[in-house]
Chain A
Amino acid sequence: MAEHVIKLPDVGEGVAEAEVVEWNVKVGDIVQEDAVLASVMTDKAAVEIPSPVAGTVSWLGAEVGETLAVGSPLVKIETAGDAPVPSDEGLPAEPDAPAPAPSKPEPASAPKPKRSPASGAQPQTGMPRREGEKPTASPAVRKRAREAGIDLRQVRGSGPAGRITHEDLEAFIEAGPLASAGTALRADTSVNDVKVVGLRRKIAEKMALSKSRIAHITYVDEVDVTALEDLRAQLNRQKQESQPKLTLLPFLMRAMVKAIAEQPAMNAHYDDEAGVIHQHGGVHIGIAAQTPNGLVVPVVKHAEARDIWNCGSEMNRLAEVAKAGTASRDDLSGSTITITSLGAMGGLVTTPVINHPEVAIVGVNKIQVRPVWDGSQFVPRKMMNLSSSFDHRVIDGWDAAVFVQRIKSLLEAPAMIFI
């Protein structure tokens, strides 16, 4: 028997530590070579750690949610002798470790949501009685209820045959007057503890950093996108097979590139500790995207060097890898300015949070047909609001307004984007 120590590998450029977000194995599990042992999360991407050997897991180096330095021991695996190639049923079953199918390791201790009821007793347990049915309770419970001024018909019974116990009565009393609204409605005083780990923790940290360091100013204006939508529809009708279906975002990206050319201060990182603003030549536009696991921001690099079609296809690629969870660290880092859009859920106005250390974020709200006064009458126009936030420490309100107005004018006269 030999013990193999698997250390946390270097999971990305410049990454010094990573958080264990999921164990795919537990102590005692038999693993085959290349089976996934764990998932770790760097500040951008989740990385799966495969097993370099076959054997039995004997030790885990961290709990879910713990952060390990690159190079520290992650897993110990006991290998049999010279690590023979295990066949599916070749391995003797460990006496106290029923062998799971090695190719499909059991999902190990994911953070267990712990239900911790506020009072230690679950209020209002048991089935509700049918309308008009007499409650069942011992004489002592009936007497207590009477003295506490409680109508037992309002209390659910958790006992045999729905009998109301002393505990049921106590839980009802603790739940307070809300619970007495009837047998159908009841107060739920339970608390569900969800451990904040992985991507969610990263998001939380980023948001807290942004909001605590950056003095946000949000500027909202409406954009008449009737002409843009006409153009977009026309382009989509005439597009070649190889070209992506265009959404509004590639147009916005190109408009931003144009506006940034006039106001390079918008495309910058503000290193507030060093007191330096790094204005970038390349326009790397982060696109805030919702994935099943939470918010990620894939980056369209060098938008200034891409045309509309190219912006669209790169965006589609990023959207796919982000949703699939296979985005590389590189795909998810390096943005210099960000767009946030909730599409049909875009609402009227948002107050976007700047992606630190950037200095601007452009928020896209929903397109709606609204009546617009054209000087003589109301006409239906496709209107869309842009809600954009700026780091007011380094961008004045005037400049912010100029930036948004420039984008607005480009989007309202989309031919200008292509000049």
Chain B
Amino acid sequence: MKDISCTVLVVGAGPGGYVAAIRAGQLGLDTVIVEAKKPGGTCLNVGCIPSKALIHAADEFLKVREMAEGRRTPGIRLESPSFDLGACRDWKDGIVNRLTNGVAGLLKKARVKTVEGWATFRDGKTVEVTTATGPQVIRAEHVIIATGSEPVTLPSLPFGGRVISSTEALALTTPPERLVVVGAGYIGLELGTAFRKLGSDVTVVEATDRILPLYDADLTRPVANRLSDLGIAVHLGAKARGMAGGEALLVETADGSETRFPADAVLVTVGRRPLTEGWGREELALDMDGRFIAIDEHCRTSMRGVYAVGDVTGEPMLAHRAMAQGEMVAEIIAGEKRAWDKVSVPAVCFTDPEIVTAGLSPDQARGAGFEIKTGQFPFQANGRAMTTESEEGFVRIVARADNHLVLGLQAVGVGVSELSSSFSLALEMGCRLEDVAATIHAHPTLSEAIPEAALRTLGHALHI
């Protein structure tokens, strides 16, 4: 095949890569993107989107089941609802297809050439792509590495058989009767909760002493309560030792004893690791930052003309961070002056209830040397929360004590993921408590808890 020469080459078409390519194309740069699978990366294909579809379906099914049992919204009566995971999966795959096709369309519209296949670097300017029709060499002036991440495997629990990753879990056609989740991070809890709601018997095994170790206890308490209400057994301080006879998970529990957890499926969600191997990194002289590719505030690697974006560059491994990086890098290559100067990268756990964080938590703020003021407003005092039968949770705000600059906003509660937009905006705009407090938030919405939290921090909340 004839070699391709281009200005910008993007390796990996996940959120970081495809956004970089679209923006580069928009800016008139001759751009090629290489992807072995479908565009959209982990996020669209086997991550954010399909998991949210499954969670939604599970929530809906639980709702109607509870209605049928007379445990929910008074006045609604239902007869024996049923659930077909296979049909649900088809619906979910339809959404994924629409989105990935959408990305392909956007790339095309931006005049980006897509090459399907596995790229391997020969040097900092050249990759060889193994395509269905043979090897394709691509040379570029600028290269953007956006290879993403993959689930971490436990040596004692190699994937295969009943041991599955989130990718396989999302592809199941029937809920496993007994599901054991190894790792109580957000992916494990999101999927474990969903399968519980779909009828699985779910056990969570976590090696540390708490669920969602990256979030503080105030935020995770409602989630822990809900797990318990749903009947999910959570074993903290418990280490997965491997499969016993292929049908049960052998676990060393907190008291040191060994317990067998019979399982039809063992979902291992112990984190994700950057994909830094298998694409010829050894041919490049890239400085590393631990397991990640080291980058500067312009997403430049240690090699001239080689950039990296997304999960391969570090925490937080979140799609929106990758997208912002990708957009920025394309503009930098086009000659614009850009640098990473974001105040916050918000994060959402689609657990039940949801957790959203932006900026610094009280402990993080104190750790950073700030004198702080903080306050929270419970959804129990919010009208909208009452009418949606979801009063658990709160909004919390953290601000500097001296000038009231907002340093962080967090919330836990049903549907709070949508509050993340005003959290991020407040931080990015440099709001003070007074700004947040003085902004009219529509009634009746959950968002009213945001100015109330600010008012409470200032000492004069109105509705509590």
Q: A161-B403, A162-B403 are in contact. Are A139 and B428 (CB under 8 A)?
A: yes
B contact residues around A159 at 8 Å (CB): 430
* Interface members, chain A 133-170 (any B CB < 8 Å): 136-139, 142-143, 146-147, 149, 159-163
Bitwise, A212-233 to B at CB < 8 A (1) or not (0) is: 0000000000000000000000
A contact residues around B339 at 8 Å (CB): 146
B contact residues around A136 at 8 Å (CB): 405, 430
B400 adjacent to chain A (CB < 8 Å): yes
With the chains together, A344 CA to B400 CA distance in Å? 55
B341 and A160 form a contact (CB under 8 A): no
A142 and B434 form a contact (CB under 8 A): no
* Interface members, chain B 23-52 (any A CB < 8 Å): none
With the chains together, A163 CA to B432 CA distance in Å? 9
B contact residues around A161 at 8 Å (CB): 400, 403-405, 430, 432
B341 and A142 form a contact (CB under 8 A): yes
With the chains together, A216 CA to B432 CA distance in Å? 66
Residue of chain A at shortest CB distance from B336 = A147
A138 and B337 form a contact (CB under 8 A): no
Q: Which of A137, A142, A160 has the most CB of B within 10 A?
A: A160
B435 adjacent to chain A (CB < 8 Å): yes
A contact residues around B434 at 8 Å (CB): 160
B430 and A137 form a contact (CB under 8 A): yes
B contact residues around A147 at 8 Å (CB): 336-337
B404 and A146 form a contact (CB under 8 A): no
A149 and B403 form a contact (CB under 8 A): no
With the chains together, A370 CA to B429 CA distance in Å? 68
With the chains together, A226 CA to B240 CA distance in Å? 105
Main secondary structure of the interface of B (DSSP, over half): loop
A138 and B432 form a contact (CB under 8 A): no
A138 and B428 form a contact (CB under 8 A): yes
With the chains together, A163 CA to B435 CA distance in Å? 12
Residue of chain A at shortest CB distance from B428 = A139
Q: A146-B338, A146-B339, A160-B434 are in contact. Are A138 and B429 (CB under 8 A)?
A: yes
B contact residues around A160 at 8 Å (CB): 403-404, 430-432, 434-435
Q: A160-B435, A161-B403 are in contact. Are A138 and B336 (CB under 8 A)?
A: no
Residue of chain B at shortest CB distance from A137 = B430
* Interface members, chain B 420-454 (any A CB < 8 Å): 428-432, 434-435
A contact residues around B405 at 8 Å (CB): 136, 161-162
Bitwise, B327-350 to A at CB < 8 A (1) or not (0) is: 000000000111101000000000
How many Å from the CB of A329 to the closest CB on chain B?
A: 59
B contact residues around A146 at 8 Å (CB): 337-339, 341
With the chains together, A146 CA to B339 CA distance in Å? 8
Residue of chain B at shortest CB distance from A152 = B341
B contact residues around A149 at 8 Å (CB): 337
Residue of chain B at shortest CB distance from A140 = B429
With the chains together, A149 CA to B429 CA distance in Å? 21
A contact residues around B432 at 8 Å (CB): 160-161
Residue of chain A at shortest CB distance from B337 = A146
* Interface members, chain A 157-185 (any B CB < 8 Å): 159-163
With the chains together, A137 CA to B431 CA distance in Å? 10
How many Å from the CB of B366 to the closest CB on chain A?
A: 16
Residue of chain B at shortest CB distance from A127 = B403
Q: Which of B337, B341, B400, B428 has the most CB of A within 10 A?
A: B341
With the chains together, A147 CA to B332 CA distance in Å? 11
With the chains together, A332 CA to B429 CA distance in Å? 65
How many Å from the CB of A365 to the closest CB on chain B?
A: 55
With the chains together, A162 CA to B403 CA distance in Å? 8
* Interface members, chain A 392-419 (any B CB < 8 Å): none
Residue of chain A at shortest CB distance from B404 = A161
B341 and A138 form a contact (CB under 8 A): no
How many Å from the CB of A161 to the closest CB on chain B?
A: 4
With the chains together, A157 CA to B436 CA distance in Å? 19
Given contacts A142-B341, A143-B338, 13 further A-B contacts (CB under 8 A): A136-B405, A136-B430, A138-B429, A147-B336, A159-B430, A160-B403, A160-B404, A160-B430, A160-B431, A160-B432, A160-B434, A161-B400, A163-B429
User: Can you show 20 pairs from A to B with CB atoms below 8 A apart?
Assistant: A136-B405, A136-B430, A138-B429, A138-B430, A139-B428, A139-B429, A143-B338, A147-B336, A147-B337, A149-B337, A160-B403, A160-B404, A160-B431, A160-B432, A161-B400, A161-B403, A161-B405, A161-B430, A162-B405, A163-B429
Closest 5 CB pairs of A and B: A136-B430, A161-B405, A161-B403, A163-B430, A146-B337
